[in-house]
């Protein structure tokens, strides 16, 4: 132990001399009880030899192409170094304003980590074309944008309007109808997707479009048609969500009877599996059961079953069963749009904080979504309030922020993404400069002894990284688990995650602070490190003297060293 402490001290001293000498001796810590674990027994070797630059050959051309990293990250690292890399991940919903190859490329260049397609809108052919364009972008231009497919879910919503939008004015009478109109919709008429609608609503009910963006009062029922008077004017958008309220509370018996995954959703899910999307997010989740059901369906259908299931928290039921839902899913989304239509608006911020915290504790990535920069659908600059909202989500250390209409159909998709990026960077930096290490207690979560070891290693590594002010943590991870445990600790420095498979690498895109690389790994940690250093150095992404902590989930090892 005394030796270890001494080594640590000599390491910190090294930091003031950027170029370490070859006499530097790294420390390798090994959990004493590892032999009880199911993992392979580690071979602890001295690895100082690999720091001998004279002896290590320069990377061959073959080697230099054998590491995959996102082109944007690579450029950022080269230009600004480790500290400036963005930790908060960014998701853009793709729609008519962002679906061309050039538009997608602009978003990828602007830092989009995940492209979201919403099956509420557009045809499967349209979405397929988008997915393929993103894949081509990744292949041809070196991005690693992951794809998230969002199901429609079976809530009640309006049909298409035959126009991009329509304006409902105060006092106007509109007809909400369950009739199937063959030709054009009559004036001031809205189609409703739920057949029981006309039977379920009552005269006097309040009808909320999009959670209250526009309000109507039900004044008359005529067969399949429901006549309503507009009481709060506003813009009607195609397929906007509808809720109805009676005596001040939401009428939701009907919604509760609708399945979470509709027959159309199952077809969309088959489509998503066939296209190999990275994430499927499930709208209006009510319980853990549906998540488990979908996960076993995916496991049976998809060869490597590597599609992550994201639970959208946007209903009263999902809040009631929050704990079991978060435990069952692979990640969650605070879908504030619909959530704000189901609970009073003033309760949305505390619900957001609760979901973000719980996800962090249970080690599930969490996305904060909807209306982050709503005004940027129309205007090139955000409101101060929107910037404050984005800052709060970053401060809460959510894994990812999501654009909806701003990138799908707004006038300024790139500008909105730039705002998310710059606000994230600024708040993250402020947080580090002020040394605002939050006091969130992370309860133990591992279910096996082996996972317990990984967890302890990651907790310690994150703490060491902050105390020693290391430049980066490197984690060599087969399935991404150890990378996620590190991300959960939200260390000050970025986490370089090296994994063997492209799909794991894309999935890591959603997690806070992770910079995912694909690299073929061997069981020999020394040679992994050796190759990684030379590959990254050859590409100018790290420099001699950088202080790094390296972890491996193959060996369950932890090492502190300067890059040779």
Ligand X SMILES: Nc1ncnc2c1ncn2[C@@H]1O[C@H](COP(=O)(O)OP(=O)(O)OP(=O)(O)O)[C@@H](O)[C@H]1O
User: CA–CA separation, 311 vs 325, rounded Å?
Assistant: 7
> What token pair was written down for 478?
């087969």
Q: Which is nearer to Mg ion, 76 or 314 (CB)?
A: 314
Note the helical H segments in 50-209: 61-64, 71-80, 101-109, 124-141, 197-200
Shortest separation between residue 234's beta carbon and ligand CC(=O)C(=O)O, angstroms = 17
Give the per-residue contact string, 304-323, with Mg ion (x = CB under 5 A; - = no): ----------x---------
| Strands in 247-377 per DSSP E | 249-250, 279-282, 308-313, 331-335, 366-369
Shortest separation between residue 91's beta carbon and ligand X, angstroms = 11
> In this chain, which stretch among 336-344, 378-386, 477-485, 529-537 interacts with ligand CC(=O)C(=O)O, using CB under 6 A?
336-344
Contact call for residues 356 and 366 (beta carbons, < 8 A): yes
Q: Does 484 bind ligand X (CB under 6 A)?
A: no
Q: Does 563 bind Mg ion (CB under 5 A)?
A: no
Q: Does 207 bind Mg ion (CB under 5 A)?
A: no
> What token pair was written down for 180?
């199937």
Q: Does 213 bind ligand X (CB under 6 A)?
A: no
Contact call for residues 552 and 454 (beta carbons, < 8 A): no
Return the residue of 47, 335, 355, 550 that touches ligand CC(=O)C(=O)O, per CB under 6 A: 335
* Residue 336 interacts with which of ligand CC(=O)C(=O)O, ligand X, Mg ion, none, CB < 5 to 8 Å by class: ligand CC(=O)C(=O)O
> In this chain, which stretch among 246-254, 271-279, 331-339, 529-537 interacts with ligand CC(=O)C(=O)O, using CB under 6 A?
331-339
Return the residue of 335, 376, 485, 508 that touches Mg ion, per CB under 5 A: 335
Q: Compute the chain's Rg from CA coordinates.
A: 26
User: CA–CA separation, 457 vs 112, rounded Å?
Assistant: 31
| 530-563 burial: b if 16+ Cβ within 10 Å, else e | bbbbbbbbbeebbeeebbbbbbbbbbbbbbbbbb
417's CB contacts (< 8 A; 6+ apart) are: 90, 92, 107, 110, 111, 112, 403, 407
Return the residue of 150, 317, 455, 471 that touches ligand X, per CB under 6 A: 150
Give the per-residue contact string, 266-285, with ligand CC(=O)C(=O)O (x = CB under 6 A; - = no): -----------------x--
> What token pair was written down for 404?
């909806």
Compute CA distances 35 → 179, 395, 445, 449, 460, whole Å: 69, 40, 21, 11, 20
Contact call for residues 63 and 535 (beta carbons, < 8 A): yes
Return the residue of 39, 121, 157, 336 that touches ligand CC(=O)C(=O)O, per CB under 6 A: 336
* Residue 212 interacts with which of ligand CC(=O)C(=O)O, ligand X, Mg ion, none, CB < 5 to 8 Å by class: none
Contact call for residues 367 and 333 (beta carbons, < 8 A): yes
SS3 443: coil
Return the residue of 314, 471, 492, 546 that touches ligand CC(=O)C(=O)O, per CB under 6 A: 314
User: CA–CA separation, 336 vs 156, rounded Å?
Assistant: 17
* Residue 370 interacts with which of ligand CC(=O)C(=O)O, K ion, Mg ion, none, CB < 5 to 8 Å by class: ligand CC(=O)C(=O)O
Q: Does 409 bind ligand X (CB under 6 A)?
A: yes
The size of the interface with ligand CC(=O)C(=O)O (CB under 6 A), counted in residues, is 10
Q: Does 234 bind ligand X (CB under 6 A)?
A: no
HEC profile for 375-438? HHHCCCCCCHHHHHHHHHHHHCCCCEEEECHHHHCCCCHHHHHHHHHHHHHHHHHHHHHCCCCC
Shortest separation between residue 151's beta carbon and K ion, angstroms = 6
The residue number with the shortest CB distance to ligand CC(=O)C(=O)O is 337
The size of the interface with K ion (CB under 5 A), counted in residues, is 4
The size of the interface with ligand X (CB under 6 A), counted in residues, is 18
Give the per-residue contact string, 363-402, with ligand CC(=O)C(=O)O (x = CB under 6 A; - = no): ------xx--------------------------------
Contact call for residues 191 and 159 (beta carbons, < 8 A): yes
HEC profile for 99-135? CCHHHHHHHHHCCCCEEEEECCCCCHHHHHHHHHHHH
Residues that bind ligand CC(=O)C(=O)O (CB under 6 A): 283, 312, 314, 335-338, 369-370, 404
Residues that bind ligand X (CB under 6 A): 93, 95-96, 118, 120-122, 150, 237-239, 283, 337-338, 404-405, 408-409
Residues that bind Mg ion (CB under 5 A): 314, 335, 337-338
């Amino acid at each position: 132990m005394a030796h270890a402490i001494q080594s640590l001290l000599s390491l910190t001293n090294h930091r003031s001399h950027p170029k370490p000498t070859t006499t530097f001796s790294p420390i390798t810590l090994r959990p004493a009880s590892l032999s009880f674990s199911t993992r392979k027994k580690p071979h602890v070797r001295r690895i100082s030899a690999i720091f001998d630059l004279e002896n290590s050959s320069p990377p061959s051309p073959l080697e230099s192409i054998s590491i995959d990293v996102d082109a944007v990250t690579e450029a950022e690292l080269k230009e600004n170094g480790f500290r400036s890399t963005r930790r908060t991940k960014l998701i853009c919903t793709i729609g008519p304003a962002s679906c061309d190859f050039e538009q997608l490329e602009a978003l990828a260049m602007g830092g989009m980590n995940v492209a979201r397609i919403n099956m509420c809108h557009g045809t499967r052919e349209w979405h397929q074309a988008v997915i393929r364009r993103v894949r081509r972008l990744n292949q041809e231009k070196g991005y690693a944008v992951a794809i998230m497919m969002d199901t429609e879910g079976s809530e009640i919503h309006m049909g298409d309007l035959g126009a991009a939008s329509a304006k409902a004015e105060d006092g106007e009478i509109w007809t909400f109808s369950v009739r199937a109109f063959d030709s054009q919709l009559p004036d001031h008429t809205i189609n409703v997707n739920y057949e029981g609608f006309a039977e379920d609503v009552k005269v006097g009910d309040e009808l909320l479009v999009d959670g209250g963006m526009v309000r109507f009062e039900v004044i008359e029922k005529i067969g399949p048609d429901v006549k309503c008077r507009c009481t709060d004017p506003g813009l009607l958008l195609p397929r906007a969500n509808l809720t109805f309220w009676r005596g001040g509370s939401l009428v939701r018996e009907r919604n509760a009877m609708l399945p979470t995954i509709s027959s159309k959703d199952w077809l969309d899910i088959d489509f998503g599996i066939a296209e190999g999307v990275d994430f499927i997010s499930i709208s209006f989740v009510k319980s853990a059961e549906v998540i488990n059901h979908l996960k076993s369906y995916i496991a049976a259908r998809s060869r490597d079953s590597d599609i992550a299931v994201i639970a959208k928290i946007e209903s009263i039921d999902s809040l009631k069963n929050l704990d079991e839902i978060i435990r069952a899913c692979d990640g969650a989304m605070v879908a504030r749009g619909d959530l704000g239509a189901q609970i009073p608006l003033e309760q949305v911020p505390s619900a957001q904080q609760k979901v973000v915290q719980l996800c962090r504790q249970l080690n599930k990535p969490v996305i904060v979504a909807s209306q982050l920069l709503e005004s940027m659908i129309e205007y090139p600059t955000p409101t101060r309030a929107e910037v404050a909202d984005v800052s709060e989500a970053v401060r809460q250390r959510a894994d990812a922020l999501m654009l909806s209409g701003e990138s799908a159909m707004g006038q300024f998709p790139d500008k909105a993404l730039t705002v998310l990026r710059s606000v994230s960077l600024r708040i993250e930096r402020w947080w580090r400069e002020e040394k605002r290490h939050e006091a969130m207690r992370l309860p133990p979560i591992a279910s096996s002894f082996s996972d317990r070891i990984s967890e302890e290693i990651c907790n310690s590594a994150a703490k060491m990284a902050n105390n020693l002010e290391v430049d980066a943590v490197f984690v060599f991870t087969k399935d991404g688990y150890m990378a996620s445990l590190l991300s959960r600790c939200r260390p000050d420095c970025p986490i370089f995650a090296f994994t063997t498979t492209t799909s794991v690498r894309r999935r890591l895109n959603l997690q806070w602070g992770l910079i995912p690389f694909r690299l073929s790994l061997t069981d020999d940690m020394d040679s992994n490190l050796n190759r990684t250093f030379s590959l990254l150095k050859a590409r100018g992404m790290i420099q001699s003297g950088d202080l790094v902590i390296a972890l491996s989930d193959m060996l369950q090892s932890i090492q502190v060293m300067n890059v040779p």
